[in-house]
Amino acid sequence: MIRSLDLRGKALTKVGYQKAIPRAKLDIAAALVAIEPILQKVKSGTEADLLQLAEEFDGVRPPSIRVPQSALDKALADLDPKIRAALELSAERIRKVHNDQTRGVTTTKVVDGGVVTERWIPVDRVGLYVPGGRAVYPSSVLMNVIPAQIAKVSSIAVASPPQKEFGGLPHPTILAACALLGITEVYAVGGAQAIALFAYGMDGLCEKCDLVTGPGNIYVAAAKRALRGVIGIDSEAGPTEIAILADESARAGDVAADLISQAEHDVIAAAVLVTTSEKLAADVVKELEVRVAKTKHSARIREALSGIQSAIVMVDSIAQGLDVVNAYAAEHLEIQTQNAAQDALKIRNAGAVFIGRFSPVSLGDYSAGSNHVLPTGGCACHSSGLSVQTFLRGLHYIEYEKKWPLWLPLRDELTSLSPYGAPQVPAEATLNTNENPYAPSPELAQAIADRVHRVATTLNRYPDRDATVLRTSLGKFINTLSGTNFTADSIWAANGSNEIIQSLFMAFGDRGALGFTPSYSMHPLIAKVVGVTWQDGGRRADFTLDTAKAITEISGKKPALTFVTTPNNPTGTLLKIGEIEELAKATAQVSGLLVIDEAYAEFSKEISAVALIEKYPNVVVIRTMSKAFAFAGARVGYLVANPDVVDAMFLVRLPYHLSAITQAAAEVALEYQAELLGTVATLIDSRAKVIADLESMGLTVAPSSANFIIFSGFNVEPAQIWRQLLDRGVLIRDVGLLGHLRMTIGNEAENQKFIGALKEILQK
């Protein structure tokens, strides 16, 4: 029934072994000729052509090529509960194994300022082929669909041949397996025409796919070869094959059963036993006789075993046996030797390796968790089986920075920096830089214009370099909010709070600065530009500040400046006044300043840290008119502090740093404070609505006391969502926090646009 081949004493080359154990003859060239008219027909054809091809090749005319959802639902409802349980168990195991196959992002710094990042991006749309043929393989549905789903392929179609017995639908178990996995796009089409349908698409029926995977007969393989390039393919799966490397420790019954299990698939399936044991060889022959006779498909098995492609091969040693099976590169290789696990490590070429008597190939066919779509015909020497990786492409992102010319005496620490650059691109909803979305009223705009007009008549003169009027108004404003008694001596004003931050570093940077990231990214950047050492204390995983840990950091590092942002940007998290007081004490102990950046204070209910200044002269509070005050374009920031701190600011400010126009505009804005701050309550309400909307979409939003929120819980990279939102006219901010995006609360229309666009993206 099965030929024997004695290779003992004949150490051959790899090619020599391959010639000694050939595969069954497959006339791919003839198949290519046979399928050519089919491919042409599908390329320029319609559904009617597919129906006619089904009649011709499958002997049945399906009611429609697209399988209706009702048929999928019915197949699942009618599925034998035992088969359903088996499929579910297999699916769970396949998922387990394939979940571990996802690859992370790798970032390689090639040279200073030159980085290459590789990200794994799923193919957009795949077509999965599930053969009909001599047997039904619902397991092939699982083996194809699950890796594609884990790779996050967004569009998955399945094709399987129409069956005469089922009125032209694919086999009900295959439909049930599709339904079980949530696949809704299924076509009753088989053979070369299925591959052509995926490769070319068909107007009104099926969108073109980027990749097709799955096993099939010789015509499927030929179609894949002919269309590769038009569509990506996994491999040209040929007839199945098993090789078993065994010694005298193997059990003849097990070996025979496993040879039969693959021979049963096809008359040209290959079953090869490579052994050192004459006794085993003889016993296996006996076992085959007995078992084949008793098996349902005995004629098919007999033909497969007696073909040129099947053999019992005698070798001198396991070492020679390993050479033989490595040369053969079987789709399935079983190792049934004394030291199976060690011998398995010497295998280089095989689709999958099954170790020991309790790991038969049939386990891998269904529910080992491994994939059963494997390279055949010796292709295992260059290809692997189907995996999550099949559905991903490694994209390289190349990012080299400007190389500064040598003639330019740029400071060393600046060469690796890039300029601040929140994208300033046109969008219908600009929600990226935490501005107030409500523009000044026409009355306020007119009042500013009038005041600026007055100032314009004196622009030949320098402005009030101490900005006394403005500082007095700012002091009064703070006093109204916080019940304090500050005069201009405790206030410093500049072009945005960024300039205030820079001045603080210039005046007090000697012993370095400490901050707690993620926080406002300009704190460390401005420090670097000014030449101040920055150290990071970090935050908890939920972005709150661990004050006890912060105090330990302060005592240990003794920084001149400790920066705390509250509400924090970009996380929205808040610090209680009591906690700030603890930090004030700790910083005082090391003779350092505690800088509280309150850029977003108006949006929170917490008391301002200005209340601590009288008791703790080392507390410095930074505020801005850019956010709640809706005055970002004017560039006005200020600090509130002990007058000694303000005196130090005079040392580092540039002469006449705040223009007469800025001072005039800010004074008017302060007169209109009721109007400008009037939008704060609206924004707080809108914040609650946006958070509720995002949560109802299953996303996670960090609690926020600011006019922005950060959210997470989406499965793709933030940059991808950011881009897709921008494509829909919504600009938000990718702050570089793993898995998170930040969105500034806008007006009602902008928020709705954001939510609508995000829903659309996440549902895709």
Residues marked active site are found at: 331-332
Q: Which residues lie across from 332 on neighbouring strands?
A: 242, 352
CB 190, min distance to ligand PMP, A = 60
Residues 514-533 close enough to bind ligand PMP by CB under 6 A: 520
CB 519, min distance to ligand PMP, A = 7
CB 597, min distance to ligand PMP, A = 5
CB 526, min distance to ligand PMP, A = 10
CB 516, min distance to ligand PMP, A = 12
Distance, CA of 523 to CA of 515 (rounded, Å) = 8
| 310 counts as binding ligand PMP under rule CB under 6 A | no
| 498 counts as binding ligand PMP under rule CB under 6 A | yes
Distance, CA of 290 to CA of 293 (rounded, Å) = 6
Which is nearer to ligand PMP, 94 or 735 (by Cβ)? 735
Which is nearer to ligand PMP, 325 or 513 (by Cβ)? 513
Which is nearer to ligand PMP, 493 or 690 (by Cβ)? 493
Instruction: Answer for the pair 353, 344: CB distance below 8 angstroms, yes or no.
Output: yes
Which is nearer to ligand PMP, 261 or 497 (by Cβ)? 497
Of residues 434, 473, 663, 744, which one binds ligand PMP by CB under 6 A? 434
Of residues 626, 642, 705, 707, which one binds ligand PMP by CB under 6 A? 626
Which residue, among 230, 304, 217, 315, has the nearest Cα to 260 in the 3D structure? 304
Residues 627-656 close enough to bind ligand PMP by CB under 6 A: 632, 637
Task: Convert residues 553-592 into a mask of x (bound to ligand PMP by CB under 6 A) and - (unbound).
Answer: ------------x---x-----------------------
Which is nearer to ligand PMP, 147 or 537 (by Cβ)? 537
Measure the CA dihedral 459/460/463/469, to 10°: -50
Of residues 599, 683, 735, 758, which one binds ligand PMP by CB under 6 A? 599
One-letter amino acid of 248:
E
| 349 counts as binding ligand PMP under rule CB under 6 A | no
Determine the interface stretch with ligand PMP among 66-74, 166-174, 495-503, 537-545 (rule: CB under 6 A). 495-503
Distance, CA of 566 to CA of 605 (rounded, Å) = 11
Determine the interface stretch with ligand PMP among 129-137, 274-282, 480-488, 493-501 (rule: CB under 6 A). 493-501
Of residues 160, 337, 430, 497, which one binds ligand PMP by CB under 6 A? 497
Instruction: Answer for the pair 110, 399: CB distance below 8 angstroms, yes or no.
Output: no
Instruction: Answer for the pair 707, 628: CB distance below 8 angstroms, yes or no.
Output: yes
Give the burial class of 560: count Cβ atoms within 10 A of its Cβ; 0-12 exposed, 13-18 middle, 19 or more buried: buried
3-state helix, strand, coil in the chain (%, to 5): 45, 15, 40
Identify the DSSP state of 733: B
Dmax (CA) for the chain in angstroms is 113
Instruction: Answer for the pair 739, 733: CB distance below 8 angstroms, yes or no.
Output: no
- Alpha helix ranges (H) inside 67-203: 69-78, 81-99, 138-150, 172-180, 191-200
Which is nearer to ligand PMP, 159 or 630 (by Cβ)? 630
How far does the chain reach from its first CA to its final CA, in angstroms? Answer: 55
Q: How many CB atoms lie within 10 A of CB 108?
A: 10
CB 520, min distance to ligand PMP, A = 4
| 492 counts as binding ligand PMP under rule CB under 6 A | no
CB 620, min distance to ligand PMP, A = 13
| 502 counts as binding ligand PMP under rule CB under 6 A | no
Q: Which residues of 742-754 are buried (b: 16+ CB within 10 A; e: fewer)?
A: bbbbbbeebbebb
Which residue, among 85, 89, 75, 265, has the nearest Cα to 173 in the 3D structure? 75
CB 572, min distance to ligand PMP, A = 11
Of residues 287, 597, 602, 667, which one binds ligand PMP by CB under 6 A? 597
Residues that bind ligand PMP (CB under 6 A): 434, 496-498, 520, 565, 569, 597, 599, 624, 626, 632, 637
